[in-house]
Structure 1
């Protein structure tokens, strides 16, 4: 246990003191849902600013190792806060009021998903730092979870801001290189044609290798020429969790051994990222 544990002990101590003061106690009792939300925001803040810290906190675990756990607990706290908030509302709300409350709640969940996307992308940036150092701003890593027979984007990072945009958030389970990686556990391809003009050569090549439409290819912002798809399996006999897509504009092959070594060292963390998103996605 190090001094960093006081980021948690100090926060709990402050809350307990405020509960001992009659005035602040009454405020907290009437707004307990907001207390959960504030606590969730505090954990998200710690997860963000301490994302790369190697300082040990407790049980010989560092901030970086506990990052996804902080995110998951933060998500649970805000969900509890939403539930408590609903339970405290007047049961005789008018239809208009109920609609307003529903819209507010939906917006809160959208905000949770946006915050999670950022934190997941931050983890990608740190975990695959060695990959990005070799791409000269021409590489990107995306993590997808498999849900409802499609792949849903959880997080994405590239050194090039133009490639960081979400674009298509969902992909069919039988479309593109993603489908091949899902079916075969890994899939690699390189030396794809460069997109020129209207991209006929690029589109013809892609369609000869996988199932994908011209429309889907036109919408892709990053016309990559080298890909490596890696499936993330569950720790038991349950279906796989999702996939990671590595891609780069350069036609040279992606270093598969480097990627496999990185994933081997962070597999539990990546599994946790995908599983925690399943609770709200």
Structure 2
């Protein structure tokens, strides 16, 4: 077994060979293989001013050079394969790693769902209440909010729905900008609702029509980590506009905000993010 220091040196040597030596060997193989077909004696007679160069090339054992370069390149390829494995092995390891990450992500989602259940209890939600509590992590690269937890005592409203939302639309965006947003003036439905959502929340008509839970009360609390960096938004929505008093719901969300912010800050790399998965081809 190689010591740690020797193994690191060996790995560095193989990296150097892969980056610099092997491409050079490939070039040598290509050039020497091509020059084997040349008659340098005839070329020296045709171009006497280059006789010295052609004499050197004629005296060089090009076949030996070709053979040595090919063998060394082959040996380095074998070492690289032994170090990293075949492409199929690497893909298998990547799939296994992704499966482990997915399992962690699923566990985190279940954890957040359970914590939001506790928030529901603090909000004194009863069975079948037309209320939903959701947690959205902000993805600054995608300029979107990624849902990472949801709870509702009503199974219809507990359904996942969209996995991400633009960070410039809806009550989530308002809470993100202002730290706190409360609105219980949303019209129930129809043209009045579409107009209100477009004016207040920049929600396009086609998105408005696709919203399944026609909430009339929204409360959004931004979550900042210990460094003061905004990381997520906690949202409560209800069908009935008078379901909560603003003071009560704000005090409840203020009471849990720091705990959720710490968890998002710590676990954000492992929270399932459909955008990252699509970029990775997973």
TM-score normalised by the chain length of structure 1: 0.61
Q: 2:187 aligns with which of 193, 200, 213?
A: 193
Displacement after TM superposition at 1:165 (Å): 1.7
Q: 1:145 aligns with which of 132, 137, 155?
A: 137
Q: Greater Rg, structure 1 or structure 2?
A: 2
- The worse-fitting range, judged by mean Cα deviation, of 154-163 and 269-278 is 269-278
Secondary structure at 1:244's aligned position in 2?
Answer: strand
8 Å contact from structure 1 (residues 131, 259) kept in 2: yes
Deviation at 1:139, TM superposition (A): 0.4
State the partner residue of 1:271.
Answer: 261
Aligned in 2, Cα 1:267/1:186: closer, same or farther, shift over 3 Å? closer
Q: In the aligned structure 2, how far is the partner of 1:154 from the partner of 1:219?
A: 20
**What is the RMSD of the two structures over their aligned residues, measured on CA atoms?**
2.2
Matched residue, 1:133: 125
1:256 aligns with 2:246: yes
Structure 1 residue 235 and structure 2 residue 226: aligned? yes
1:244 is matched with which residue: 234, 247, 262?
A: 234
* Offset of residue 192 of structure 1: 2.0
Which piece of structure 1 moves more, 264-273 or 170-179? 264-273
Cα deviations by residue, 1:76-99 (Å, 9 ceiling, x for unpaired): xxxxxxxxxxxxxx7342212222
Q: Distance in 2 between matches of 1:265 and 1:251?
A: 23
Alpha-carbon distance in 1 for matches of 2:91, 2:105: 21
1:159 aligns with 2:153: yes
User: 1:182 corresponds to which residue?
Assistant: 176
Q: CA offset at residue 134 of structure 1?
A: 6.0
Q: Secondary structure at the match of 2:133?
A: strand
1:91-116 Cα deviation digits (max 9, x unpaired): 34221222222123222222221221
Q: Partners in 1 of 2:200 and 2:250 — Cα distance?
A: 24
Residue segments in structure 2 that go unaligned for 5+ positions in a row = 1-81, 272-282
Correspondence for 1:222: 213
How many corresponding residue pairs? 188
Specify which of 165, 190, 212 is matched with residue 203 of structure 2. Answer: 212
Answer yes or no: is 1:116 the counterpart of 2:116. Answer: no
Matches within 5 A, 1:55-134: 91-133=83-125
- Judged with a 3 Å threshold, the aligned counterparts in structure 2 of structure 1 residues 114 and 214 are, in CA distance, closer, same or farther, namely farther
CA contact (8 A) 2:126 2:153 kept: no
Change (3 A) 1:181 1:105: same
Q: Deviations over 1:150-201 (max 9, x none)?
A: 2111111000111112211211211111111111111111142223xxx433
Secondary structure of 1:250's aligned partner: coil
Instruction: Give the alignment's TM-score, normalised by structure 2.
Output: 0.60
What is the DSSP-based 3-state SS (H/G/I as helix, E as strand, rest coil) of the residue aligned with 2:149?
A: strand
Matching of residue 168 in structure 1 with residue 162 in structure 2? yes
Asked if 2 retains the 8 angstrom alpha-carbon contact of 1:143 and 1:153, the reply is yes
CA distance in 2 between counterparts of 1:106 and 1:277 reads 16
- Offset of 1:280 from its aligned partner? 1.7
Paired with 1:250 and 1:211, the residues of 2 have a C-alpha distance of 22
The question of whether the paired residues in 2 share the 8 Å contact of 1:185 and 1:230 is answered with yes
Give the Å deviation of 1:132. Answer: 4.5
- Displacement, 1:207? 0.8
